[in-house]
Amino acid sequence: MKQSFGLRLWRWSIISVVALYLLVPLYAMYDFSTKPYGFGDQGRTFRAWQMIPTQQDLFPAITRSLITAAIVMAIILFLVVPTAIWVHLKLPVLRRPFELLCLLPLAIPAIVIVVGIAPLYRWISINLYESPITLAGVYSMLILPYTYRSLSAALDAVDIHTLAEAATTLGSGIARIIFKIVMPTIKTGIINGSFIAIALVLGEYTISNILNFKTFQVVIAQIGRSDGNVAVAVSLASLLFVILLLLIIPTKKRQGSVLDVDTI
Amino acid sequence: MSSSKYVQLVDIAKYFGKVKALDGLSLDIAEGELVALLGPSGCGKTTALRALAGLQVLDRGSMIVDGKDVTFQKASSRGMGMVFQAYSLFPHMNARENVEYGLTLHVHRTSKDKRKARSAELLDLVGLSSHANHYPYQLSGGQQQRIALARALAISPKVLLLDEPLSALDAKVRTQLREEIRRIQVELGTTTLFVTHDQEEALGIADRIGVLRNGKLEQIAAPAELYDRPQTAFVAEFVGLTNPIAGKVSGGSIEILGGVVKTLPGSITSGAGIALVRPESIDVVASKSGNATVFSASFLGATCRLTITMRDGARITAQLPSPDATGLGAGAGVNVSLLDIPVFVKAAG
């Protein structure tokens, strides 16, 4: 059935407003990063973009932040997700306390967390290992409110109890149920939670800066203090990189023919 | 040789706080037999089934399958195939992968070729070979339950456990699938325990039906015997329709509707009682000077159900073969009497 003109106009208006909301800041960043240096100068220059490879601290910082993000991802996949599933399946009585615990990082300001963990990180730096990668520990705590909510919503949307019991009667142990049955079933929730976690790890500034770790975001801030155009160019480049990643990540739907529900 | 006690539930009990879900249930199932557990909500039928599957820990009693005590055996190693009330196919696997799943696990592991052959055989058995690559979201409810049945059968289970597998389906599909389950069960000779609250389903599918009430077995018998010769008032009233008709009991008979019929064992032996009379045990003949009037008539195909108002104002239901009910519309005068079929009589009041 053909949609009415009014409805189409309404839909396209909404899409246009959202697109503008998202694209205008990106264009503004591009515009700023290609502005000539002097006030009187005209035209465009890619000087700031050309200077990106010359930033000595930038690439090691990106590598460190990506490694940190990968460690946080691993913690999510092998600790947070199985724990959330375990609580939903086996310890429903702990769901509320667990949820409250996971929400705590949201209620405590970052600066308070830093003050609390600074002595711990001093000890880690002196006695174990001094690297921004150790931030994965505190980040995996900070991401809990977002990741757990996303997982919890995904777990509530599926009857995992019946799936788990079906797998049990067929001979599955609990580990196989968690990793082979429930996790693939709530894949979307895990991916959503993981994206939020990565965004937080790559964007968190307060803790890493106060603890004097040179992460990606700290280095961008440093570059920004000496050359704003380059900092904005780096930020835009990283945003485009993430958008590209999101587009590349396979969204292939499982094969299957048309819905056939006319027979029993 | 088939065993008459292939599955034995011996005095099993399960309490949830003060609620007695199972209260000393004992039940034997013969090898290759299909037993249905029937009862109202909360009678303990699903708890019994889950206990046999190993999904529910018992507070008392023991369970023996094929001569082996499985009471404390883990659910994952019991080798029970189960079909659930809720759709339980793994959503990220297609139909074939779902059927093969059990065979990939160490308990029932088989080679890839054998797995493929087995899943093809079972998908063919449930009539869904052409849907092997379909995912659950591409299947109707009935198709999903048939795949779930194939998955449960793939591991060649010692006992097939069916937990109201048809209750989420519409009436037509339910009837078709019920017959299909029975055909497959007979074909494979799998010992089966079927839980349902739908008496028509139980009567239509089972070799024997166990009626449960408050965690205890009221009666277990073949469908016809359970229907014709109930041993308790609860069974008589729960299975099929009954007309409660007051009368006087003496010497193993009751006097009702102007006649005398024998009472079934378990009935009260003397005094005022209420006979629980099946609609088809009532004979209705057209008669202008009869003892009743037809209040309404419902045509049900092969039979016709009449609601009749007796002279004293009481309403009873009779069911006749449709040809015998010709001309017996609302307002018709009739004479009502009882056929010589024993009835169950409970105490009045």
**Run of H or E residues at B54:** none
Average pLDDT along chain A:
84
User: What distance lies between CA B102 and its chain's CA centroid?
Assistant: 28
Secondary structure of residue B35 in the 3-state scheme: strand
pLDDT score of A38:
64
Does ipTM exceed 0.90? Answer: no
Best CA proximity match to B189, nearest among B1, B33, B3, B8: B33
**Nearest residue on chain A to B88, judged by CA atoms?**
A163
- In percent, how much of chain A has pLDDT > 90? 30
- Which has more confidence, A264 or A209? A209
Range with lowest mean pLDDT among A131-140, B16-25, B230-239, B299-308: A131-140
B134 lies within 8 A of chain A by CB: yes
pLDDT score of A263:
43
Whether residue B130 has pLDDT greater than 90: yes
CATH for A57-263 is 1.10.3720.10
Best CA proximity match to B92, nearest among A27, A179, A104: A179
Q: Which of B50, B52, B57, B76 to mutate to test the interface with A (most CBs of A within 10 A)?
A: B76
Nearest to A264 among B54, B106, B142 (CB): B142
Give A261's pLDDT tier (boundaries 50, 70, 90). very low
CB B260 within 8 A of CB B253: yes
Rg (CA), chain A: 23
Answer whether 0.80 is exceeded by the pTM: yes
pLDDT score of A252:
47
Nearest to A181 among B80, B90, B94 (CB): B90
* Residue whose tokens read 């839909």: A11
Contact B173 A167 (CB under 8 A): no
Give every CB contact of residue B244 below 8 A, 6+ residues apart in sequence.
B274, B275, B276, B277
Whether residue B245 has pLDDT greater than 80: yes
pLDDT score of A255:
40
Question: pLDDT (tens digit, 9 = 90+) per residue, A42-92?
Answer: 778 888 888 888 888 888 888 888 888 889 989 988 999 999 999 999 998
pLDDT score of A254:
44
Nearest to B81 among A158, A169, A176 (CB): A169
- Rounded to the nearest 10°, the torsion over CA A217, A221, A227, A232 is 50
Give A250's pLDDT tier (boundaries 50, 70, 90). low
Question: pLDDT (tens digit, 9 = 90+) per residue, B159-209?
Answer: 999 999 998 888 888 888 999 999 999 999 999 999 999 988 999 999 999
Average pLDDT along chain B:
92
pLDDT score of A251:
53
Whether residue B1 has pLDDT greater than 60: no
Strand arrangement, sheet containing B7-16: B19-29, B7-16, B60-65, B68-69
Best CA proximity match to B297, nearest among B268, B277, B274, B326: B326
The predicted model gives B260-271 an average pLDDT of 91
Hey, where are the domains in chain A?
57-263
Give every CB contact of residue B205 below 8 A, 6+ residues apart in sequence.
B34, B36, B178, B181, B182, B194
- How many beta carbons lie within 10 A of that of residue A140, not counting itself? 21
Q: Which of A89, A170, A257 to mutate to test the interface with B (most CBs of B within 10 A)?
A: A170
